[in-house]
């Protein structure tokens, strides 16, 4: 209704976020979810001369519901939003030879392995500890010629990095169609040949390295699938795990893998192991 009355954009946030009543409405395997948040914070953007009070009243009249309990109006000053956004993202050094570089930056080390990647529609720019942990593992352990599965590929950064580090093939899988498209685009921008699919569009085989940077609940639910996708003596790399959840995930994956102690960064854990 806000859009119909002239709002330029509208977004919804969980009004109970960061409280015990916070709701997860985006599906994870084995986790029941609601379709909408029960309490919402609504943000709407209007032209400067819009009569916001009248618009709100018209919306509630048309919807046949009482006026909102509280709202506030703030002026958003004009800005160069592209430049402001870009200023928040600098090149990220993963190791002596591996960097993540936004396309508007010049590589700090032209002789290094530079992955061109901009913040976009999917998770994975190298700024989050879980992504860095997985990238560090790939950097230290790939020797060349490996087949790699990136399950929950997001931006495709791990599959792209694997190819640049010498893997012979890399496949990325994500339930989000936008993530799959973003991964394709990012691979093209890096002159990398990698395959990205949604789960229903691919028949998994077995791979030398399986990496999954998602979250603890789906990692636990997907354990048999990811274990089966790892060849004997192959490696698995798991992240998106809070340090306090390491024991839970380790207990499940120890059925199939000899696991190394978790590597912790900023409260996040990366587990790796070898398939028996």
Any bridge partners for residue 93, and if so which?
Answer: 99
Please determine, looking at this structure, whether the domain spanning 122-275 carries the CATH number 3.30.70.1350.
Answer: no
Q: What is the DSSP string of 214-225?
A: S-HHHHHHTHHH
CB-CB contact of 160 with 186 (8 Å): yes
Instruction: Give the pLDDT band (50/70/90) at residue 65.
Output: confident
**pLDDT value of position 30:** 55
Q: What is the mean pLDDT of the chain?
A: 91
CB-CB contact of 104 with 90 (8 Å): no
What is the average per-residue pLDDT within 144-172? 97
Q: Flag whether pLDDT at 21 surpasses 90.
A: no
Distance CA(174)–CA(183), nearest Å, equals 10
> To 10 degrees, the CA torsion angle through 45, 49, 52, 57?
-130
Q: Flag whether pLDDT at 29 surpasses 60.
A: no
**pLDDT value of position 121:** 67
> To 10 degrees, the CA torsion angle through 251, 245, 227, 183?
-170
Instruction: Give the pLDDT band (50/70/90) at residue 127.
Output: confident
Q: How many helices (H) and strands (E) does the chain have?
A: 8, 13
**pLDDT value of position 253:** 98
pLDDT in tens, 36-58: 888 899 999 999 999 999 999 99
Tokens of 16: 């109970």
Quote the DSSP letter at residue 88. T
Distance CA(65)–CA(73), nearest Å, equals 21
Instruction: Give the pLDDT band (50/70/90) at residue 126.
Output: confident
CB-CB contact of 105 with 168 (8 Å): no
Alpha-helix residue ranges (DSSP H) falling in 76-167:
81-86, 129-141, 157-164
Instruction: Tell me the CB-side half-sphere exposure of residue 26, using CA atoms within 13 A.
Output: 7
Place of tokens 């791990």: 158
**pLDDT value of position 83:** 81
What pTM was computed for the model? 0.77
Distance CA(105)–CA(243), nearest Å, equals 33
Ranges of each domain in the chain: 9-63, 122-275
**pLDDT value of position 38:** 85
Any bridge partners for residue 170, and if so which?
Answer: 148
Torsion region of 48: left, alpha or beta (phi above 0 gives left; psi -120 to 50 gives alpha) = alpha
């Amino acid at each position: 209704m806000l859009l119909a009355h002239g709002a330029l954009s509208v977004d919804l946030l969980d009004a109970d976020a960061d409280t015990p009543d916070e709701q997860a409405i985006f599906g994870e395997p084995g986790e029941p979810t609601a379709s909408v948040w029960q309490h919402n914070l609504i943000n709407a953007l209007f032209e400067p001369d819009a009569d916001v009070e009248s618009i709100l009243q018209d919306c509630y009249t048309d919807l046949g519901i009482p006026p909102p309990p509280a709202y506030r109006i703030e002026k958003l000053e004009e800005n160069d939003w592209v430049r402001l956004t870009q200023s928040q993202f600098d090149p990220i050094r993963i190791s002596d030879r591996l960097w993540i570089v936004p396309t508007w930056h010049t590589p700090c080390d032209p002789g290094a392995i530079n992955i061109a990647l901009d913040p976009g529609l999917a998770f994975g720019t190298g700024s989050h500890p879980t992504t860095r942990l997985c990238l560090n593992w790939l950097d230290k352990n790939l020797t060349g010629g490996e087949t790699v599965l990136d399950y929950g590929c997001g931006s495709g950064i791990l599959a792209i990095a694997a190819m640049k580090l010498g893997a012979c093939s890399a496949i990325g899988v994500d339930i989000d169609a936008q993530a799959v498209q973003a991964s394709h685009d990012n691979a093209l921008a890096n002159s990398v040949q990698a395959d990205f699919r949604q789960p229903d569009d691919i028949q998994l085989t077995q791979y030398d390295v399986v990496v999954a940077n998602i979250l603890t609940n789906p990692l636990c639910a997907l354990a048999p699938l990811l274990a089966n996708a790892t060849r004997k003596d192959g490696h698995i790399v798991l992240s998106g795990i809070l340090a306090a959840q390491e024991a839970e995930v380790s207990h499940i994956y120890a059925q199939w893998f000899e696991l190394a102690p978790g590597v912790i960064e900023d409260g996040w854990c990366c587990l790796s192991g070898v398939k028996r």
